[in-house]
Structure 1
C-alpha cells in the first residue's frame, strides 16, 4: 500500500561520495554509542514495554512439504537456450544508482534510496529484504560470488509481476544496483518458456544459493541465485517468455526462474505467509502473518509467528518438515519479522502504526519507535561491530532502505 509523499531525509554524513564505504570502520566506531555519538548521531528513543506477551502454542499442526525440483528440467534447458549470468556478472552490469540517506529512524547506521524511477513509481512497491549475510554469514566479509549485497523484492502492478533489486553494498564497488525479474517456467522441458510471478513477494530470505520468497496464500517459492537467465531487452514491453528462439522479460536483461515450491502439507494448519526471514543462529526460517481486524481484504483473527528448521547441514528443508516453534503474537499489522539468538523482532506498521517490538522469549515485549509503511526485516551478523537490522519503507516517494544496531533495538 502507498501513502502521500513526505520530505526526504538529509544525506548520510558517514558515506563517501562515491564507491561505497568502509563499513567495518563505521561499525567499530558505533560500538561506543552514548546518548549522542561523537559524530552527532542520535540514539534510539527510550523503549517502552508493550501490552501483552507472545504465547507459545503447539507447533505440531504447522507442517510444510518441500519440492526443490518442481521446475528443475525447465530451468536447465532455459539456461542452455537463453544463456546465463552469475551474480557477479549481473552486478558488473548494474545500471541504476542508489544514493545515501540518513535520519530515517533514531540511531540509524546506514541507509540508501533507490533511483527516482523506483522511488516514485506508483506501479511498484518494495516489500521483502535479505542480504548476502543471510546467504553466507560473515565468511569472506559476507560476500556471495565476491560481492556484498542487499536484495529487495518489489511487486509490480503494470505489468503485473515481481522482481528483486540486487544492490551492491561494498566499498570496493560502485553504489549501484540491477533489477532482476522473477519468472515461473512454463511449456515443456524440451521447449520451455516462462511467465510473470504475480504474487505480493512480502518477504524474502537468501540462504546459500537459494532465495525463498513468501507466497501469501500458498507458502514459499524457491529460486536459485546461481541460475540467472539472460534475456533479450528488445521487443515490446509487454512481451514475456519465449518468442521463437528468443526470450523476453519486459525489457529486463536478467530473469530468475522459479526452481521449487514450499507448500502447506495437506491437512495441516494453513498459514498466511505475509513475510519471512532467515535465522542463521538456529538455522531456521521464521514467518509471520499480517492480520487486520478492521480490513475487508485481509485476514483477521490471531497473528501467529512460526519457525521451521532446515535439514541438518543444509540450506534446504527435508521433503516434509514440522515447525519447532510457534507463537500467538498479541499484535496486528505485522509486515516484518526477524529472529536471532533467541530474540524475536516484529515490525507493526501501516499508515498510522510505527513500532518495532523486540521480545527475548520471556516477559513482555519492548516497543521501539519505528517507521510507518515499514516492511520486512533482515538480521545482518557482523564480526567487527554491532549486528544490524535492515528494513525499508514502501511509501511512494519515500522508500529508504536503512539499518540500525540490533542491540539498540533489542528487548
Structure 2
C-alpha cells in the first residue's frame, strides 16, 4: 500500500463506491479502429491577452491568492474509497457528503500538477476537477468551477472550490460574471489552465491570478456591488478570471465539438475528442466523433497565435467523455458503453471493461512508479475520483 493510501485510510473510514468485484479487461480487438483525417483541416487561434486590462484592474481591486494560500484555507475534507470495481485500481478518493449528493453540481474534467509541471506546483501535489452548476436540480447550466484537491501525504486530505469567472466592466470599474459552460475537460500546463468550451474551443485561465473575493453575500450575488469595493461570488472566497480564448477553426465543413480534453506531456499538446451518438440523440451530434491533437509552441506552455493540428482521427466509438494520449498511444472512455478503448496505429484497438458514468481522463507520468490514468464519475451519490495503472489498459 502506498503512503498516500495509508494516509487516506487513516483519515476516514473507507467508503465503498460501486461494485466490489473487479471488472476484467478484455483484450479482444475491436472490429475496426480509428482512421486518419487530414490534420491540416483543423486549426486554433490563440489570444492570451484578451482580458489583460480588466484582469489587471481586478487584481488591483481584489488582490491575488497563490495556489499554496488557497490550499492553506481549504475548507472541505474528502473521503477515502475502496476499489470502485475496476482492474488495475491504484488509489482514489471522493468528496464530502454534500458534494457527492449535490444534484445541482456535476464533476467533469480532470487534470493534475503532474500535467502542469511534472510534480508539485507551489509546494502542492494537486488533483483538479472541473464542475458545472445547474440552476436547480433540473435547471440549465448556470456557472462552472474547479475543485483543487491536495494529493500528497505531507498535506491534509482537504480541497477548495474556486469559481471560474469572465471579466467584464471597465478598467475603472472592473467586474466579473459567471461562465455557464459544461467544462467537460481541463488541462493544466505550466501556469495556464485550459478549459473545454463545447462549441468554441478552450478558455484560458492563469493559476497565478486567483482573486480573493468577499463572502457573506447571498448565494445569488455575483460580481461588483454598488459600493464599488465589495465583490461577491456566490459566497466563494476565490475566483479564477479568464485571461484568454483559444478558438477552434476547421475547413472540414463540420465544426469540432470540444466535449473533453487532456494534456500529452510526452508530445507537448492538447488532445480533444467529441461526444456524439450513432443515432437518436437530440442534444448531441449523430455522427462519428473525431479526436484531434494540437501542439504547443516549441518550448512553451502556450499555443502560437495560429496552430495547425498535427494529428486528426475519425473514431468508431460513441458517447466519449474522456480522452488521453501519451507517446503515440490513445485512450477513449465511453460512458454509454462502459468501455475504455486503447489504440495505437501499429497495434490497433483494444477494448476494456470500464465504469458507468465515467468522465475525463488524465495521464500521470511517474519516474519511479508505474504510470497511471486518472478519471472520475459524475453519477449522483457515487462520485469516486481514482487512478488505475496505465499498463493494465494497453502496453
Asked if the contact 1:200/1:215 (under 8 Å) is kept, the reply is: yes
Displacement of 1:99: 1.0
Q: How does 1:34-45 map to 2 (within 5 A)?
A: 44-45=24-25
2:268 counterpart of 1:283 = yes
SS in 2 for 1:300: coil
- The residue number in structure 2 matching 1:144 is 121
Q: Report how far residue 383 of structure 1 moved.
A: 1.1
Aligned to 2:257: 272
Task: Measure how far apart 1:190 and its partner are.
Answer: 2.5
Partner of 1:246: 230
Would the aligned equivalents of 2:41 and 2:250 in 1 still touch at CA under 8 Å? no
Tell me the TM-score normalized by structure 1: 0.88
Cα deviation digits, residues 147-183 of structure 1 (max 9, x gap): 0000000000137100000000000000000000000
* 1:264, distance to aligned residue in structure 2 (A): 2.1
The DSSP-based 3-state class of the residue aligned with 1:232 is: coil
Contact 2:27–2:352 (CA under 8 A) maintained in structure 1: yes
Equivalent position of 2:99 in the other structure: 118
1:153 matched residue in structure 2? 130
* 8 A contact 1:355–1:367 mirrored in 2: yes
CA distance in 2 between counterparts of 1:155 and 1:42 reads 30
CA distance in 2: counterparts of 1:298 and 1:106, whole angstroms: 31
Matched residues in 2 for 1:171 and 1:321: separation? 39
Structure-2 residue corresponding to 1:68: 48
- Which runs of 4 or more aligned residues in structure 1 lie more than 4 Å from their structure 2 counterparts after TM superposition? 12-16, 41-44, 266-269
Partner of 2:333: 347
- The answer to whether residue 154 in structure 2 is matched with residue 172 in structure 1 is yes
CA distance in structure 1 between the aligned counterparts of 2:335 and 2:23, rounded to whole angstroms: 21
Structure 1 residues 276-319: Cα deviation after superposition (integer angstroms, max 9, x where no partner): 00000000110000001221111111210000000011000000
199-208 vs 353-362, greater mean Cα deviation:
353-362
* TM-aligned CA deviation for residue 335 of structure 1: 0.3
Q: Does 1:221 align with 2:203?
A: yes
How far the C-alpha of 1:266 sits from its partner, in A, is: 7.5
Aligned to 1:5: none
Does the alignment pair 1:406 with 2:390?
yes
State the secondary structure of the residue aligned to 1:125.
strand
Q: For residue 265 of structure 1, report the CA deviation from its aligned partner.
A: 3.6
Unpaired segments of 5 or more residues in structure 1?
Answer: 1-11, 21-40
Answer whether contact 2:23 2:354 (CA < 8 A) is retained: no
**Map of 1:294-373 to 2, 5 A cutoff?**
294-350=280-336, 353-373=337-357
Indicate conservation of the 8 Å contact 2:183/2:196, yes or no: yes
State how far apart, in whole Å, the 2-side matches of 1:274 and 1:171 are.
33
Q: Paired residue for 2:216, among 231, 234, 254?
A: 234
**Alignment partner, residue 88 of structure 1:** 68
| Aligned residue number for residue 23 of structure 1 | none
Q: CA RMSD in A?
A: 1.9
Query: Does the Cα contact within 8 Å between 2:5 and 2:91 map onto a contact in 1?
Result: no
Residues 19, 76 of structure 1: CA spacing in aligned structure 2 closer, same or farther, 3 A cutoff? farther
How many angstroms apart in 1 are the aligned matches of 2:280 and 2:375? 26
TM-score (norm 2): 0.91
For residues 342-375 of structure 1, give each alpha carbon's deviation from its aligned partner in whole angstroms, at most 9, with x where no partner exists: 100000113xx21001112234311111101100
Q: Give the Cα–Cα distance (whole angstroms) in 2 for the partners of residues 15 and 61 of structure 1.
A: 49
**1:73 partner SS:** helix
Q: Structure 1 residues 146 and 63 mapped into 2: Cα distance closer, same or farther (>3 Å)?
A: same
Q: 1:231 to 1:289 in 2, by over 3 A?
A: same
> Match of 1:91, SS?
helix
Alignment CA distance shift 1:387-1:266 (3 Å): closer
Aligned residues: 375
Alignment match, 1:261: 245
Q: Deviations over 1:28-58 (max 9, x none)?
A: xxxxxxxxxxxxx969534322221110111
Contact 2:271–2:324, Cα closer than 8 Å, also in 1: yes
